Amino acid sequence: MSVAYDFARSPAAEFMARPQDLLIDGRRVPASSGRTFKSLNPATGQVIATVAEGNEADVEHAVAAARRAFEGPWRTMRASERGQILMRWAELLKQHADEIVEIESIDAGKPISATLRQDFPSAVDTLTYYAGWADKISGDVVPVRDDALTYTVREPVGVVAAIVPWNFPLMIGMWKLAPALACGCTVVMKPAELTSLSALRIAELALEAGLPKGVFNVVTGPGRVVGDALVNHPDVDKVTFTGSPGVGRGIMKGAASNFKRVSLELGGKSANVIFDDADLESASKAAASGIFFNAGQVCSAGSRVLVQEKAYDEVVERLAARAKSLRIGDPLDRKTALGPVISEKQMKSILDYVDIGRKEGATLVTGGEKVGDRGYFISPAVFAGVEHEMRISQEEIFGPVVSVIKFRDEADALRIANGTAYSLAAGVWSRDIGKLQRFAKRARAGTVWMNTYGYTDVRLPWGGERDSGLGREHGTAAIDNFTEPKAVWMNLAV
């Protein structure tokens, strides 16, 4: 495994070489404290950018700017004009695709081929989809009685705090931005400290597209400072967050101060269930992709592969073979299938879980080792002989580690699949349509994939319950997230 990264020759080098200041009220400004932090390339451990370290004062300025924009030009603008600005922004993103994709790949350690294939197209699709929604958000006439005209309208929630994770900064950032802006809200975004760069670049392009100043602000810095300040700010009307259940619980507590609306997309320990009558080649291939994509740093990763007894040994063998075949290396190499995990801390956490799995008595069939002498690369790990109660079966590892668990029959598969605190997603493989439908009906999951795994689309709701979160993103659910219904009653008997 080698990393042939040459920062000096990167098309994105000019952007990353600049001081990465905050973006508040339409201008790039340094943090009020003057403090900065270093952004590292996970593939090399090298510094790639110097980023402003925002604090409570910067959040105050950003929220005030967002409030002025909300009460002024953005809210009063014609909805169709808002949509046109978002469409122009999408066109600018496409014009700068190579630069944005490279920034994302270098900053997050994401294989550039996958970023080109999924992350960037999904971000653009999300933006264009909600741009089309901007002038179609309507209410209903409700015929309550003959002497009154009664109807409903949907109004924007107000100032939104969007707190974005490090695993899909561009894509998930747009999942929050696009519907909020289409609905007429204004946004203060806090990207993850580890991956701040793409948010700052697309914010610059939003201004170029004609987005009024203050509508979209970016405050970078640590979650315990910037995130907490946003959650506790009395003039923030809604928080949308993707991240860990622990942080999600803290956000709900903080939001209670002024009863902010909250939507949370949190963790997962998704079960990918393979019955012995399934197409085992297709199921194994998809199961490997479902856990090893993005180095396993995916909330809906199929980190538990449940296999019926008769097919168990074959699926373990196929998963191990696919794990061994994945090319690990430079994220900018288009042949790379598996890049680094995001940080040294995350790498250590994952390797600790590999040790826990061994100590619990599971069999490490392959992988689970640090790769190379720099960067944060881990060989994809396959554990066999995993019992449902083991920690590696119950706890979110967020890395390229799969637990293969044996089950007897439908009832046993359902018991194991539903037997964690999470409920984000699940997959099921069988040639028996009745079996598929029974499992889908009883699985505790916001999304169930049948004879496939991992697909998402902005037109379908996305989210979970329990430790997987609260509310749904995407589709019309996102319109509900960022609007408030108002009832209007007009007396006609006058």
For the chain, 494 residues long, the average pLDDT of each consecutive 10-residue run is 50 90 98 97 96 98 98 93 98 96 97 96 98 96 95 97 98 98 98 98 98 98 97 97 96 94 96 98 98 97 98 98 97 96 98 98 98 96 98 98 98 98 97 98 97 97 95 96 97 90
pLDDT at 1: 47
pLDDT at 3: 44
Domain of residue 412, CATH code: 3.40.309.10
Question: Are residues 347 and 400 in contact, defined by beta-carbon separation less than 8 angstroms?
Answer: no
Residue 81: active-site member: no
Spatial neighbors of 393 by CB under 8 A, at least 6 apart, are 269, 304, 386, 387, 403, 405, 420
pTM for the model stands at: 0.95
- Quote the crossing angle between the two packed helices 97-108 and 197-208, to the nearest 10°: 160
Please tell me the distance from the alpha carbon of residue 71 to that of residue 100, in angstroms, as a whole number. Answer: 32
Question: Are residues 493 and 147 in contact, defined by beta-carbon separation less than 8 angstroms?
Answer: yes
pLDDT at 75: 87
**Residue 487 tokens, joined:** 């009832």
Does residue 180 share a domain with residue 147?
A: yes
Does residue 147 form part of some domain?
yes
Does residue 295 form part of some domain?
yes
pLDDT, the chain, mean: 96
Does residue 298 share a domain with residue 327?
A: yes
Distance from the first to the final alpha carbon of the chain:
81
Does residue 4 form part of some domain?
no
**Residue 379 tokens, joined:** 């060989």
Does residue 364 share a domain with residue 283?
A: yes
User: How many domains does the chain contain in total?
Assistant: 2
Reported as half-sphere exposure (CB side, CA atoms, 13 A), residue 487 has a value of 6
CA 254 to chain centre: 22
Question: Are residues 150 and 139 in contact, defined by beta-carbon separation less than 8 angstroms?
Answer: no
CA-closest candidate to residue 213, choices 322, 64, 324: 64
Does residue 375 share a domain with residue 229?
A: no
Does residue 7 form part of some domain?
no
Does residue 173 share a domain with residue 307?
A: no
Does residue 351 share a domain with residue 234?
A: no
Does residue 200 share a domain with residue 68?
A: yes
pLDDT at 8: 55
Question: Are residues 306 and 274 in contact, defined by beta-carbon separation less than 8 angstroms?
Answer: yes
**263 forms bridges with which residues in the sheet?**
240
Question: Are residues 481 and 179 in contact, defined by beta-carbon separation less than 8 angstroms?
Answer: yes
pLDDT at 494: 81
Does residue 242 form part of some domain?
yes
pLDDT at 5: 44
Domain of residue 19, CATH code: 3.40.605.10
Altogether, the residues listed in the chain come to a count of 494
Does residue 493 form part of some domain?
no
Question: Are residues 344 and 373 in contact, defined by beta-carbon separation less than 8 angstroms?
Answer: no
Does residue 404 share a domain with residue 349?
A: yes
Amino acid identity at 81 = E
Please tell me the distance from the alpha carbon of residue 301 to that of residue 331, in angstroms, as a whole number. Answer: 20
Q: What residue numbers bound the domain in which 195 lies?
A: 12-266+468-486
Residue with tokens 């199921």: 283
Does residue 153 form part of some domain?
yes
Q: Tell whether the torsion through CA atoms of 422, 402, 277 and 410 is positive or negative.
A: negative
Please tell me the distance from the alpha carbon of residue 345 to that of residue 378, in angstroms, as a whole number. Answer: 13
Does residue 18 share a domain with residue 48?
A: yes
Catalytic residue among 102, 265, 410, 473: 265
